[in-house]
Amino acid sequence: MPSSLSEALTNSSVSLDFLKQDDWITSGKMGSREAVLVFRTNILNPKTRKSLSEKSSAQTLSDPKDNEEEAPAPCEKTEPEEKTSTSSATCSNEALKEAAQRKIYFLRNAQNCDKSDKSKFLSPFKKLMHQYSSSDTSISSEGEEPARCSSESKSRVLKTNQNAINISLAESSSKESGYDSMKPVKTNANTDTSEEDQDQEATSEEDDEIGVNMPAFKLKITYKFHQTETKLLRKLFTVHGLTETQGENNFNLLWTGVHMKLDILRNLAPYQRVNHFPRSYELTRKDRLYKNIERMQHLRGMKHFDIVPQSYVLPLESRDLMVAHNKHRGPWIVKPAASSRGRGIFIVNSPDQIPQDEQVLVSKYIVDPLCIDGHKCDLRVYVLVTSFDPLIIYLYEEGIVRLATVRYDRHADNLWNPCMHLCNYSINKYHSDYIRSSDAQVEDVGHKWTLSALLRHLKYQGCDTHQLMLNIEDLIIKAVLACAQTIISACRMFVPNGNNCFELYGFDILIDNSLKPWLLEINLSPSMGVDSPLDTKVKSCLMADLLTCVGIPAYSPEMRSHYDQKWSRFRSSSCQRQATVPPPSSSQKSTKKSKKKGAAVHTNLLTGEEQRILRSARHQYSRRGGFVRIFPTDDTMQRYGNFLDSANGIPISTPTVQSQTFQTPILQHNYNQMLHFNLYCQDGRLSKDDNTEENRIEQYERALETDSEIPFVKKPAMEKCEEEGRRLRKVMLKKITAGSELTQFQARQTFSLYLESVMRRLTEDPKDSHEKIILKFLNKFGGSVKPPVLFRNMQNLKVASKARSAMVAKLLGDFLENYKRDTESYVDSFDHFGMIPSSAYNQFLMHAQESDLEAVLTLHTNVTGIMPFLYNRCGLSVPPTPPIPSGLHGFLRALPSMVSASGTARELSKYDGYFKSYEKDKIFL
């Protein structure tokens, strides 16, 4: 074991035989303490890889002797981060600069990818479902079809519909709930607005090949996923040479879909990174966020924090809601407190239409949203916080604008229509008129635009986009300030090193027609699912820039073990971060004094911790890629100084005397003041700063640059043979009649595929009666996907429409998503006696049509008396199901009664009275 860091560094020489290390390491030379990995999207493109490998194979390797502890980063010498343009990385590292200037966001071309290779990396269950879904073009996650245009969609939104693609409902729903999206997450137990990833391709052998030549591979840098699966991220890791670890603590980067366990946080070594801060649910839980902002409204004045629609948490605040309603009449939008992706949301005219026994957040409905060609839209912007003390917030230069599929109409008759009032992709994609842009360079087509395209569109119309973006920045900073105090105190208690945590938040913002932005919610794990070239471009770029900006230390195993040793010694004495701060020095006193006097806080008067913070902030800024730092900025202190404690710089959100509000740390410091001063006020650097308002706004308005067209990966579709399906169906029916049974896994697979076919029909060939059956089934089934009260009774949705079909399909999609996730745990590793052999059954599933699946399910259920959806571990003890009528859709018709027989039905009819009052209460908004 190396005894000192310099020894560890000497031992850490890593030979790079393929790629030039400077392309992939920045902020310091390999082996230096500051060195971090570089992530670049262009390596996702096989063509770029080829040229890179050709170019790099001729290049010489760096001399490992150059590796010195604390070797200054090239960018640190000249402090260039304050001098160069915002669009390019400022480090002298040419590769990084190039990456920032010429972003290439290609995903691997499917033609070059052997499907069998691909499926090699999937779990056994995924492998099977990968086969089925690719065997059916309609549920292929990335298949494309020519656009279909309806009379409802002839506006500019759809202007280039010949270019647009419209992946069929079933295909997109397979992504939403699909087998492709299968992941080890069981349920999202917490109540944050966490989004789940939906699609993307798996990594391939080719990715592994390129990965092994990367510095990260040689350095044995590892990542770990916990309760999440982000395929885009997995791909980025693989091609950059990071390897997955299953170990509890031996990761360099932990990417989790849920909040961190405090135990893990407490034991983080300085080189480890995790993607969440402790207690960030203060921001990401709808009810907590609103309460935090409400507190700031009381403390600092409504005019400063009028950033969220007035909201009430029911049933606790029912009376307050009634009072507010009597003052200013509805409508109100009702959201389950523990939900995301538009699940369970509905709009009412009056609070008495809201059931009293569910915990919901009720918000004032903004009736005059900004519309694009008549379609309501909202924004998803990506906010990166790399530190809460000091507060460092970045806003990604590009965001996504989501449009509702149906044109907006304020009439109360339309309040039920989620495809008009909600902009969630996860709802609108089920509408048959939903259009995706098929070209990454065309950003203002279809129902998903980029933020920059919206800004250009609004500017063209004469809107003040400059002020709009400043207001959005302001809203983001204020939301973070409102929640920061609790997070900072948690960081102090649980996070041992200043750089351990970072977090990417998905902010959902609605803009009203006066261009005022309203914060709707903040997502804990914004979806990185991609459904179009546009998505691919924005999200792969975002993730690569995020990883580079955050900085994964490029430490060798020797360096890590050195730190681990040091750390275990340190942990035995204390695990509090502040303990790492050196004793108070004259600099701290001088910091306080200088603040009062307005005098300079010179860098060499800073404590060790302050120097680390400053150095880290500068390096990070130099690696920011497309991230725009919105806090601190030049005018931060002027604008937000009031909201910070004057002594320690911590955002104050409790109504007590300043300086006494925060559990005062042992040592007094003001990192915000120190950072702002050193970045913006010292040595006249202010004038050279490139992070000015003008530069920032310009960056938001500029489209992400790509240097060639983006081929969107189309999953190779396997032909289904109808005849073969019929033949195999006969074989299966014969086997079942002869006494063979389906395993639980096979039965659940069959049921899922059958429901997928039904879901597809719901929008392609809507049948009123089938929508009713499905709603009845879901109503009875209850659970997390039960329809919102408004939709539980089909009689109230008299007008047959595509939107109604989409709504039912969405509900079914949500049900399927959970069902399939559960199914994963039923995979059989070998064939059981008396059961149908899996290879034969898989063949059948590969070619089966809806009618084949229905025939097998019907016979099997009649023979065994067990309902397929109850093919779970306790399913055998339930009462037998009544016989299923034969004939077309017999199984579907029997579905709701099967749930009743199972005894799992939940009594939901108590809400039925509600519909009468809703019917009567039609008003104009």
CB under 6 A: which stretch of 12-20, 27-35, 156-164, 421-429 binds ligand ADP?
Answer: 421-429
The Cα 37–Cα 545 span in angstroms is 11
- Residue 713: closest CA among 148, 167, 169, 103: 167
* Residues whose CB is less than 8 angstroms from the CB of residue 345 and which lie 6 or more positions away in sequence, other chains included: 333, 334, 335, 336, 339, 418, 422, 788
Using CB under 6 A, pick the residue from 333, 530, 541, 613 that binds ligand ADP: 333
The answer to whether 424 contacts ligand ADP (rule: CB under 6 A) is yes
Please, which residue, 418 or 533, has the CB nearer to ligand ADP?
418
Q: Which amino acid is at 455?
A: L
Taking the complex as a whole, how short is the minimal distance between the CB of residue 333 and ligand ADP, in angstroms?
5
Min CB(869)–ligand ADP separation in Å? 25
Taking the C-alpha atoms of 429, 434, 436 and 442 in order, what is their torsion angle to the nearest 10 degrees? -140
Question: Looking at beta carbons only, is 345 or 445 nearer to ligand ADP?
Answer: 345
User: Scanning the structure block, which residue is given the tokens 């033949």?
Assistant: 727
The beta strand positions in 350-483, using DSSP E, are 360-364, 371-372, 375-388, 391-396, 400-403, 448-450
Site for ligand ADP in 566-605 (CB under 6 A): none
Listed in order, strand segments (DSSP E) in 315-374 are 332-336, 346-348, 360-364, 371-372
Task: Kindly state the tokens that stand for 185.
Answer: 């997450």
- Report residue 849 as tokens: 């049509």
The H or E element containing residue 536 is helix 533-550
| Bond preceding residue 315 cis, omega within 30 of 0 | yes
Q: Which stretch binds ligand ADP (CB under 6 A): 161-169, 420-428, 439-447, 917-925?
A: 420-428
Verify binding: residue 510, ligand ADP, rule CB under 6 A.
yes
Specify whether the CB–CB gap between 483 and 292 falls below 8 A: yes
Residue 183 as a binder of ligand ADP (CB under 6 A): the answer is no
Q: Is 423 in the site for ligand ADP (CB under 6 A)?
A: yes
Name residue 254's amino acid.
Answer: L
If one counts every other C-beta atom within 10 angstroms of the C-beta of residue 297, the result is: 18
Establish if 520 lies at the interface with ligand ADP (CB under 6 A). Answer: yes
Minimum distance from CB of 920 to ligand ADP (Å)? 24
Cα–Cα distance measured from residue 323 to residue 397, given in angstroms and rounded to the nearest whole number: 41
CA torsion angle 355 361 365 366 (round to 10): -170
Q: Which of 360, 650 has the CB closer to ligand ADP?
A: 360
The least CB distance from residue 646 to ligand ADP, in Å, is 35
State the DSSP code for 578: G
Which of 231, 335, 629, 792 binds ligand ADP (CB under 6 A)? It is 335
Residue spans of beta strands (DSSP E) within 391-437: 391-396, 400-403
Distance in Å, CB of 346 to ligand ADP, minimum:
10
3-state secondary structure of 836: coil
391 phi-psi bin (left φ>0, alpha ψ -120 to 50, beta other)? beta
Please identify, among the stretches 113-121, 196-204, 222-230, 334-342, the one whose residues bind ligand ADP according to the rule CB under 6 A. 334-342
Q: Between residues 371 and 840, which has the closer beta carbon with respect to ligand ADP?
A: 371
Q: How many residues in the chain?
A: 925
Q: Name the residue nearer to ligand ADP (CB basis): 252 or 339.
A: 339
Do 4 and 68 touch, CB atoms closer than 8 A?
Answer: no
Q: Which stretch binds ligand ADP (CB under 6 A): 21-29, 287-295, 364-372, 441-449?
A: 364-372
- 424 or 779: CB nearest ligand ADP: 424
Q: Which residues contact 136 (CB under 8 A, 6 or more apart)?
A: 717, 718, 720
Tell me the window of 8-16, 293-301, 331-339, 557-565 that interacts with ligand ADP (CB under 6 A): 331-339
Point out which span in 341-349, 802-810, 835-843, 848-856 binds ligand ADP (CB under 6 A): 341-349
Q: Which residues, in sequence order, are CB contacts of 679 under 8 Å at separation 6+?
A: 82, 614, 617, 618, 632, 685, 689
Minimum gap (Å) between residue 343 Cβ and ligand ADP:
6
Q: Where does this chain touch ligand ADP (CB under 6 A) — which range of 181-189, 333-341, 530-538, 543-551? A: 333-341
- Dihedral of CA 516/521/523/529: which sign? negative
Nearer to ligand ADP, 309 or 651 (CB): 309
CB 195 to ligand ADP: min, Å: 8
Residue closer to ligand ADP by CB (options 345, 773) is 345
User: Of 628, 662, 666, 700, which Cα lies nearest the Cα of 450?
Assistant: 700
Q: Is 365 in the site for ligand ADP (CB under 6 A)?
A: yes
CB atoms within 10 A of CB 660: 11
Binding mask 292-321 for ligand ADP (x = CB under 6 A): -----------------x------------
- Rounded-to-integer distance, Cα 499 and Cα 350, Å: 48
What is the closest distance, in whole angstroms, from the C-beta atom of residue 330 to ligand ADP in the complex?
Answer: 11
Q: Helices (H) and strands (E) in the chain — how many of each?
A: 33, 18
Q: Which of 76, 521, 531, 610 binds ligand ADP (CB under 6 A)?
A: 521
Task: Name the minimum Å distance from CB 874 to ligand ADP.
Answer: 32
Q: Would you say 363 or 746 has its CB closer to ligand ADP?
A: 363
Measure the CA–CA gap between 350 and 331, rounded to whole angstroms.
6
Binding residues with ligand ADP: total (CB under 6 A): 22
Kindly tell me which of 289 and 759 has the beta carbon lying closer to ligand ADP: 289
785 touches ligand ADP (CB under 6 A): no
307 SS3 class: coil
Contact 228, 526 (CB under 8 A): no
Q: Does 340 bind ligand ADP (CB under 6 A)?
A: yes
Distance CA 626, CA 549 (A): 9
886 close to 858: Cβ distance less than 8 angstroms: yes
- Joined together, the tokens standing for residue 554 give 């490029």
Q: Is 422 an interacting residue with respect to ligand ADP (CB under 6 A)? A: yes
Q: How far is the CB of 361 from ligand ADP (least distance, A)?
A: 8
Six-digit token string for 42 = 């262009």
Among 193, 238, 594, 750, binds ligand ADP (CB under 6 A): 193
Give the binding range for ligand ADP (CB under 6 A) out of 25-33, 255-263, 417-425, 763-771: 417-425
Answer yes or no: are the C-beta atoms of 644 and 650 closer than 8 Å: yes
Among positions 339, 387, 500, 587, the unique one binding ligand ADP when judged by CB under 6 A: 339
Q: Which of residues 842-881 bind ligand ADP (CB under 6 A)?
A: none
Residues 130-149 that bind ligand ADP (CB under 6 A): none
Residue 629: its H or E element: strand 627-631
Sites for ligand ADP among residues 369-388 (CB under 6 A): 378
Q: How far is the CB of 378 from ligand ADP (least distance, A)?
A: 4
Query: CA-CA distance, 473 to 467, in Å (whole number)?
Result: 10
* One of 363, 540, 858, 902 touching ligand ADP (CB under 6 A): 363
The footprint of ligand ADP on residues 721-740 (CB under 6 A) is: none
For the bound state, the minimum distance from the C-beta of residue 175 to ligand ADP, rounded and expressed in Å, comes to 17
Q: Which of 283, 366, 713, 846 binds ligand ADP (CB under 6 A)?
A: 366
* Dihedral (CA of 150, 154, 157, 162) sign: positive
In this complex, which beta carbon is closest to ligand ADP, that of residue 90 or of residue 191? Answer: 191
Nearest-approach distance from CB 403 to ligand ADP, in angstroms: 10
Closer residue to ligand ADP, CB minimum distance, 234 or 343: 343
Q: How far is the CB of 786 from ligand ADP (least distance, A)?
A: 15
Contacts with ligand ADP in 343-362 (CB under 6 A)? 343, 345
- What is the contact surface with ligand ADP in residues (CB under 6 A)? 193, 309, 333, 335, 339-343, 345, 363-366, 378, 422-424, 508, 510, 520-521
